[in-house]
A and B are shown apart, each in its own frame.
Chain A
Amino acid sequence: MGNMVSVTKGMIINIQKFCLDDGPGIRTTIFMKGCTMDCAWCHNTESKSIKPQLSFLKRKCISCGKCAAICPQQVHSFVDNVHGVLWDKCIACGKCVDVCDYSCLDIAGEIMDVDYVIDIVVQDKPFYEVSNGGVTLSGGEPLMQMDFCELLLEKSKKLGIHTCIETAGNVSSEAFYQTAPFTDLYLFDYKLTDSTLHRKYTGTDNSNILRNLELLYKIGKKVILRCPIIPGINDNKEHLQGIADIYHKYNGDILVEIMPYHVLGISKLERFGMSTEVEMPSFNASVDQINEWEKFLKEQGVRFFIEKAN
């Protein structure tokens, strides 16, 4: 984690207002950097590493060369007017970002003070009040920075703001004990039922995750099970049945939300000089597919937090 983040300072990619899909109501979502997993379908590529990272949007670049001129690391090069990036050499100092007139360069990841974040979160309080919304900590895995999360949540609660954490659950149980008093709702990811496949596609098995889910249930926290469904990987009966089993195991107290696969993540890889080994579908999940998944779960008696099908 390095010595950059602390109780009062978090490593944050982005604060996004007017989020309609990260819990109840209109929300402000804090996307925190760093993750304990490495999911093949991740749509927040830049959230995997906790370190700041350069991002480069090739299609906006006019090859003006200002970035190459200022870069202390010789990261940017121009051969035949083609802008090349030596990703490994980049120290994310951000000098090139300042000189880029066409907004193709950016640094993902910034240390932010908790009070700075709170100031932004509180700006939309009137919207939270009318819509029963609030703040959502997401990522990456926000609980990697559990001390910062705890403080941010505590301050939010003091201001009367509804709080939500979106977690993949693969963190220490400490993280939940610490944040639970200030968290109104956990959006808990459930990715794969088969533990071997879970390891294959996310880099870790699901035993710790399931333990933590159990823990949240036992201490009486409100949880929504968020299930990313990726065609060809986990859109099978076994996994959907697994979701239904969890729903029934917790007596229907944990509502389910399907998160249909989106290709955005794959297109984002290039911006950070990254690639994926696992071949991913190149189309978004179709409405028919989503309908089918939700229909199956409904037949199993599962209730949804939000139905995605129309």
Chain B
Amino acid sequence: MIKFQNETKTNETYTLLTNHSLHSAALFYLGVNDTPMQRAGRVVKQYFCEIAPPEIVYGLTDCKQDFYNGFIDDKGKECGLYVNILGDIAFDKDKFSKLCNTYKDNTRLFRVMNDLMWDAQVRNYDQAKAMPPRYHHFGDHSVCDIRKILDIGLNGIKSEINFKSKKNNDPVYISFCSGLLDTIDGIEIYIKRCAEEYSQMALQTSDPEIGKIAAAYSNNLVMEPPKTFYEAFLTVLFLMKYMFSEAGRIDQYLYPYYLKDIELGILKKDEVFQLFDNLFKRIDEINRGLAHHIVVGGCDQLQNPSYNEITKTILLVSRKYAQPNISLRVSEKMPDEIWNIVLESLGSGKANPALVYEKPYIEELIDIYKVDASDAIEFGLGGCSETLINGMCNVDGTWVAYNLLDVLHESLGSHLLECNSFEEFYHIFLQDMKKTSEEMIDQINIRQHMDVYKSDPLRTLSHKNCLEEGKSFWNGGAKYNFDSTNIYGATNAINGLVVIKKLFDGELGVDKKSFLHVLDANFTNNQDLFNKIKKAEKFGNNDQYVNDIAKDVMEKLFNMFRGVHCYRGNGYFMPAVIDYLEYDRIGAKMPATADGRLEGAPMVDSIGPVAGTDENGPTSMVNSVVSIPMNLAIGTCVLNIRFDPSCFISKENKTKIRNFIETYFKLGGHQIQVNVVDTELLLKAVENPEEHKDIIVRVGGFTDYFVCLSDQIQQNIIHRTNNSF
């Protein structure tokens, strides 16, 4: 164990835990008067003193994160108490009770152990448990300040902390800084050890790849600014692994290193291709069913379009893999060359990249979310498309489920019979929407309060403003804090409202009571009504009445979250329609609904129409979608669209598809993800998954292999309208 200044103090809990070989917990409970950051920093330092260097996978240091397994190898797992690399307590009451019971009842030490158990139990906060299922809220995304660490290295950050700490007399701040300094010390020790071990490995194996890695680590990688493209690349991998970071705008911040090395003649284009290929192969492997987001292109700080050789390389490499999830920021002046690569990728059935129109994001971030203009330009997307600001943002809420369809269904059950007109019902539904959205906001804020238990020194030291604020990443330290408030079942609810209007207008041939009965019976007792509902106007066909309802409901709903402050860092709720894979999982729990959706069926997969209900072609679909004021929901409104491969057969047609996408953006869309796969091929893949492992499809805001998805989602994708011409 490393020595800490106050380790020699008499500290009963520390001694007790050490005696039981609970080292990480011992370090955490050593000096409980210290700030949680200082206590966590000790654990993280010890962690870096003990763990092995990152494995070498595909010739690179591994970027796989050890979120849940990042802990010191002590008796912690066995005895049910340890502190992990995030500074979080992991606690197992059953196991720890056994340890407690080795002490005699009512002895002083028994009480000390009992208090410890109590403390650990409170601090062992499980996000998932903190949310009722109706507003389930889990997950987070972040991209650390990669640019800064490349610029000044962790040594630079260490100097900053020392400087600020010395200038400040506040003992709380000094203790906070001490936790961060311990963490950096740990990394420094770790980098040195990695250098030694990689050098030995290089000698033993004579593998030139390992030799290169050893050389880079011997240059005090991560601690000092990288000197070459290769060193910068390895630094990013380290940050991805240990700062739990996604790669962010990697084509932007790596480009200066690329240019310099190409000019010096020490780097070749195909080497860069190979590096990205190896990295993406690994990301693809470790992110099955998950999403690692890389955002490329877009404008630079001078607002000039910034697309470069790395952008192109990434777009080309991404054709081979489902992950990482690539989003291309489309600026007004995106070069034709980039468009051509994109159209070629999409036309040949590759699902990457998604296209993101940057203008509405930047404008809304500045206007409503009070993001500095220069920071807004650095916006990116995490995971499935949650909007964040690279290097300075905590965005949570990956799986928030505000289920609009469920709210409508409950309104129907509780209030339909008492209503005499559609208007009356609609009014009650809007009131229910307000009540439930406010409850969700409360619930999310409760979770954000509880997040204060998380110290997370690694993300704290690597995100802008945490140091200045003296607050952890989870306690509002980052410069910007968003909650991506994800709305599910939106289009189902809109279609449902159209049906309910018809019910009141007497067009369905049943009364209100029988309507509810038919829903209860999953439509099995009235095929005629089911057919009528199926034939009712559906969102996605540019029907004016449906569009008007969509606009009204969604505008009101978005405004219930948009720009509303959340607890963490006085940040903001930011509405989104992303829907990940949860549109299936949540749908599986739902009964039959007014829009004609059968019991257990998936809900809508994006801001677009329910799969297969748009029958008037893609322009009508888009005209419907843009009736929803998506500019109010830049947490990202994902739009899935499927084209038949025939739409991409000629150069001219590809240009027309480009024009189609440009028009969508001009009309108010801000994200579109294109799938080009013919139905026959998908059907074959369902039959023979082994032979079609390579088909990549877009799901809610991310990409995955078709054959890896659930049966329901596979069917859902097959039923998406296949647009041809």
Contact = CB atoms under 8 A, between A and B. Distances in A.
B725 to A, nearest CB: 4
B650 A127 contact: no
Contacts of B80: none
Interface residues of B, number: 25
Which of A25, A124, A130: most chain B CB closer than 10 A? A130
A17 B531 CA distance: 26
Interface string A98-129: 00010000000000000000000001101101
Contacts of A16: 617
A310 interface: yes
Given A124-B619, A307-B650, A18 B725 contact: yes
Nearest to A100: B531
Interface stretch (B31-39, B253-261, B599-607, B654-662): B654-662
Given A20-B653, A26-B656, 7 more contacts: A18-B617, A18-B725, A20-B656, A20-B725, A127-B660, A131-B655, A310-B649
Interface string A271-310: 0000000000000000000000000000000000011101
Contact of B617 (A17, A130, A307, A308): A17
A21 B619 contact: no
Interface string A15-39: 0111111000110000000000000
B659 to A, nearest CB: 3
B647 interface: yes
21 contacts: A17-B616, A17-B620, A18-B617, A18-B619, A18-B723, A20-B652, A20-B656, A20-B725, A21-B653, A21-B725, A25-B659, A26-B619, A26-B660, A101-B531, A127-B659, A131-B656, A131-B663, A133-B659, A307-B650, A307-B651, A310-B649
Contacts of B723: 18
A181 B662 CA distance: 31
Contacts of B623: 123-124
Contacts of A126: 663, 666-667
A123 B659 contact: no
Best-buried of A18, A101, A129 by chain B (most CB within 10 Å): A18
A41 B107 CA distance: 98
Given A17-B617, A124-B619, A307-B650, A130 B659 contact: yes
Contacts of A101: 527, 531
Nearest to B621: A18
Contacts of A307: 650-651
A310 B619 contact: no
B226 interface: no
A42 to B, nearest CB: 19
Most buried by B among A26, A123, A308, A310: A26
Contacts of B394: none
A194 to B, nearest CB: 30
B618 interface: yes
Nearest to A24: B652
Question: Which secondary structure dominates where chain B touches chain A?
Answer: helix
Nearest to A19: B725
A132 B660 CA distance: 11
A256 B645 CA distance: 24
A20 B616 contact: no
B724 to A, nearest CB: 9
A18 B620 CA distance: 9
Contacts of A306: 650, 652
A123 B650 contact: no
A307 to B, nearest CB: 7
B542 interface: yes
A130 B666 contact: yes
A306 B618 CA distance: 22
Contacts of B666: 126, 130
Top 3 closest pairs, chain A to chain B, by CB: A131-B659, A18-B617, A20-B725
Interface in B626-674: 647, 649-653, 655-656, 659-660, 662-663, 666-667
A22 B61 CA distance: 54
A131 B616 contact: no
Interface string B190-213: 000000000000000000000000
Contacts of B659: 25-26, 127, 130-133
A306 B655 CA distance: 12
A101 B619 CA distance: 27
Contact of B660 (A21, A131, A308): A131
Interface size class of A (residues with CB under 8 A): 20 to 34
A17 B620 CA distance: 8
Most chain A beta carbons < 10 A, residue from B616, B649, B725: B725
B575 to A, nearest CB: 25
Contacts of A133: 656, 659
B649 A123 contact: no
A25 B662 CA distance: 13
Given A19-B725, A26-B656, A127 B619 contact: yes
B618 to A, nearest CB: 5
Contacts of A130: 659, 662-663, 666
Contacts of B653: 20-21
A124 B441 CA distance: 39
Interface string B340-359: 00000000000000000000
Contacts of A20: 647, 652-653, 656, 725
A123 B656 contact: no
Interface in B655-700: 655-656, 659-660, 662-663, 666-667
A17 B649 CA distance: 19
Contacts of A21: 653, 725
B240 to A, nearest CB: 38
Contacts of A123: 542, 619-620, 623
A262 to B, nearest CB: 11
Interface string B699-725: 000000000000000000000000101
Contacts of B652: 20, 306
B663 A310 contact: no
Contacts of A127: 619, 659-660, 663
Nearest to B623: A123
A130 B658 CA distance: 9
A163 to B, nearest CB: 18
A64 B491 CA distance: 32
Contact of A25 (B531, B617, B656, B667): B656
**Which one of A20, A25, A126, A133 has the greatest number of beta carbons of chain B within 10 Å?**
A20
B64 to A, nearest CB: 41
Interface centre among A16, A25, A127, A131 (most CB of B within 10 A): A127
B91 to A, nearest CB: 58
A18 B647 CA distance: 10
A58 to B, nearest CB: 20
A124 B667 CA distance: 11
Nearest to A131: B659
A20 B655 CA distance: 10
Contacts of B618: 18
A71 B272 CA distance: 71
A26 B620 CA distance: 13
Nearest to A309: B650
Interface string B256-299: 00000000000000000000000000000000000000000000
A307 B654 CA distance: 13
Contacts of A308: 649-650
Contacts of B663: 26, 126-127, 129-131
A306 B723 CA distance: 21
B665 to A, nearest CB: 9
A216 to B, nearest CB: 23
Interface in A124-146: 124, 126-127, 129-133
Interface in A71-101: 101
B269 to A, nearest CB: 27
Contacts of B651: 307
A123 B620 CA distance: 8
B650 to A, nearest CB: 6
A26 B660 CA distance: 8
A26 B647 CA distance: 11
A310 B250 CA distance: 34
